[in-house]
Each structure stands twice: as structure tokens, then as C-alpha cells.
């Protein structure tokens, strides 16, 4: 009996070891997994058609690559929960969404920026993201609004808004951002 046989539950260090152990059992076989390295063109076209229909009532497109199709903002005593539904034809890895929470005087009081790194759109190009932003301590009560835009920190540049419908463009200073919603704290 070998050390390997006497320790059947020891930690395995590789998939190859797992395969070796399983290969000793009758009926074991390896079934290759089919992987798609190229997006399904038909699915992407169908996703773009749906995006076009959805954008008739609401949509904010950034640089013809990323479109916000829907959002929902909810708040509780701990923070803000934001659901975002996007469509993309390809998000550059260095793109970020900025979420600024602006007070009545126009000052950014807190932020909830996030990166698209690791986000995986569906074959149709849709991407659903939920973000929870904690309210900072000592935040004064009042009416706040949510400013949303896309930028690339590496280039320190905002991604241009190429089309909008059903939402308000932020002021001239923030011309590549949206003014999505207001809420009271």
C-alpha cells in the first residue's frame, strides 16, 4: 500500500491528480466542454435589436459601446442600493462608472464608483449589476441627486454620451454625465 492509498482524503494539488484517481473507476470518461471563444453573432444582433427597442423610452449610450437601459435606486438606513441594467458591444477593461451623490448646493458629498473589470455580459450583450453604497457617517439630511457617468481613470477622461432618451443630461460642467434620480436623507 502506498502513501497515496492510505490518505484518500488528503488535499489534492492539481486537476491531473483528481483525473488519475477517477480514471481507476469503471465507466469514468472525460467529456470535453464546449467553449465559445467568439461571441455568438446572432445573439449579439438580437441583443442590439432589443436595446434599440428599449432605448425608445429610456437609454443613455456612452461612446456607442455601453448603454444604460434601466436603473432602480432604493435606500434604507444603511445606504443606497442601485440596480443597473446595461447593454454592451464591448467594454474596455479600464472603464469605470462614477456615481456621485450631490447635495442641494451642487457639492459631491459621497461616491460609489466601480470598475467593469471582471463583469461578464450575457451572449446578448446584457449586463446586470447591483451596487450598494454605504451612507457616510455625519451626512447632513436633505435632498441628494445621483450623477452617473463613465470614465477611464488611466486617461483621466470622461466617456462621451452619444445618445440619451428619458433621462436628464447633467449640467455643462458634467456634460458627459446623467442626472438620474433624487432622494431625501
- Residue 63 · residue 159 · CB < 8 Å: yes
**pLDDT beyond 50 at 28:** yes
Quick: pLDDT tens for 47-66: 666 666 665 566 788 888 88
Quick: pLDDT tens for 68-89: 988 899 988 778 899 998 888 8
Question: What is the rounded distance in angstroms from the CA atom of residue 125 to the CA atom of residue 87?
Answer: 5
**pLDDT beyond 50 at 38:** no
Provide the 10 A C-beta neighbour count for residue 128: 13
Supply the range of the domain harboring residue 140.
Answer: 41-184
- What confidence score (pLDDT) does residue 11 get? 57
For residues 178 and 45, the model is more confident at: 178
Domain assignment present for 178: yes
> 178 forms bridges with which residues in the sheet?
148, 169
**CATH number of the domain encompassing residue 166:** 2.60.40.2060
In this prediction the pTM is: 0.68
DSSP state of 139: P
Closest by CA to 176, choosing from 162, 76, 51, 9, is 162
Domain count of the chain?
1
Amino acid at each position: 500500500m502506498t502513501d497515496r492509498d492510505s490518505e484518500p482524503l488528503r488535499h489534492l494539488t492539481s486537476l491531473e491528480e483528481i483525473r488519475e484517481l477517477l480514471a481507476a473507476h469503471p465507466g469514468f470518461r472525460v467529456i470535453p466542454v464546449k467553449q465559445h471563444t467568439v461571441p455568438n453573432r446572432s445573439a449579439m444582433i438580437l441583443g442590439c435589436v432589443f436595446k434599440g427597442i428599449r432605448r425608445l423610452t429610456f437609454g443613455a449610450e456612452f461612446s456607442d459601446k455601453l448603454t444604460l437601459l434601466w436603473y432602480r435606486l432604493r435606500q434604507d438606513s444603511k445606504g443606497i442600493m442601485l440596480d443597473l441594467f446595461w447593454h454592451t458591444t464591448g467594454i474596455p477593461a479600464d472603464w469605470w462608472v462614477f456615481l456621485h451623490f450631490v447635495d442641494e448646493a451642487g457639492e459631491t458629498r459621497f461616491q460609489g464608483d466601480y470598475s467593469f473589470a471582471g463583469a461578464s455580459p450575457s451572449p446578448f450583450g446584457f449586463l446586470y449589476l447591483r451596487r450598494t453604497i454605504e451612507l457616510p457617517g455625519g451626512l447632513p439630511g436633505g435632498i441628494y441627486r445621483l450623477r452617473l457617468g463613465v470614465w477611464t481613470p488611466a486617461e483621466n477622461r470622461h466617456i462621451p454620451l452619444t445618445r440619451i432618451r428619458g433621462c436628464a443630461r447633467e449640467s455643462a460642467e458634467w456634460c458627459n454625465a446623467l442626472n438620474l434620480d433624487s432622494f431625501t436623507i
